Amino acid sequence: MTQEIAHATDIMSHPTFHQKIDARSQRGEITSALQITLDTEQLLNIFSRSVQSITGHNGFTYTHASENLSISRGTHAHHSCSYHLIVEQDNLGELKLMRRKRFSAEEIERIEEVICCLVYPLRNALMYHRALKSAHTDSLTQVNNRISMDDCIQREWDLAHRQKTPLSMMLLDIDHFKQINDQYGHSYGDTVLKAVAQCIKTTVRASDIVFRYGGEEFVVVLSNTEMEGAALLAERIRQAVESLLIYEDQFKVGVTVSLGVTQLQASDSVEQLFLHADQAMYQAKQNGRNRVMRTP
């Protein structure tokens, strides 16, 4: 069963909205519970637990494609009721409640009575999510920025040590970028940066994290990846960038990149991990550019 909510106030105008004092009290409690967080996943978990007391379910999924959000809790089940959440023309994503037996008409009515409690806190959480994403995204290339890089590397370093899993890092620099800026202008240089960033993003795996470190340098963090796999991926990136022809106005220029790859060693600090990748990239530059070098 699929039920669309076109506007939050559509639910509130339902003729049964004010009929039951108990239902109104439950809505008040749910609304209060949802005010404590701006974290989208935590918010949905709170809502799911609150709805359990009204209508039991085995799990839920929440998706928001444009925000790249996919959240699930509990187990998937055959029967479901889905709600496309929209408030004031703002798409809030789709929420699906699932369970093993069919939802009755009365249960669906109860869900619809309380789901209006979710839409405004969810909108606030999404606005907060967008603000955080914007603060951690490089405005030109739309990859992660240096601010987010430090936290990510520390987190991946901690995880690799705790779980005894490999961690690799790649540092990439666009060759002769200053000459590109000097010869063709900074506007074309920006076009090159955006094209290379997009090329990296489409070449790496979903689990890899791309950052613009500064200027024409990019960093790729590869969790649960050993040196051999990281070097192979670096070579694919090198080849992909080399095959680019970047157009803007009358200009059509090819670019290359130099890459350094390293794998975390047991004694490495976060700073040493980055330093080793930087040293490998420097060797790639020294050895003629447009190549991949890796630490011993």
Active site residues: 216
Radius of gyration of the chain (CA): 25
* Burial tier of 95 (Cβ tally within 10 Å: 0-12, 13-18, 19+): buried
Residue 72's beta-bridge partner residues?
61
3-state secondary structure the chain: CEEEECCHHHHHCCCCCCCCHHHHHHHHHHHHHHHHCCCHHHHHHHHHHHHHCCCCCCEEEEEEHHHCEEEEEECCCCEEEEEEEEECCEEEEEEEEEECCCCCHHHHHHHHHHHHHHHHHHHHHHHHHHHHHHHCECCCCCCECHHHHHHHHHHHHHHHHHHCCCEEEEEEEECCHHHHHHHHCHHHHHHHHHHHHHHHHHHCCCCCEEEEEECCEEEEEEECCCHHHHHHHHHHHHHHHHCCCEEECCEEECCCEEEEEEECCCCCCHHHHHHHHHHHHHHHHHCCCCCEEECC
- Encoded tokens for 196: 């290379």
Cα–Cα dist 57/47, whole Å: 12
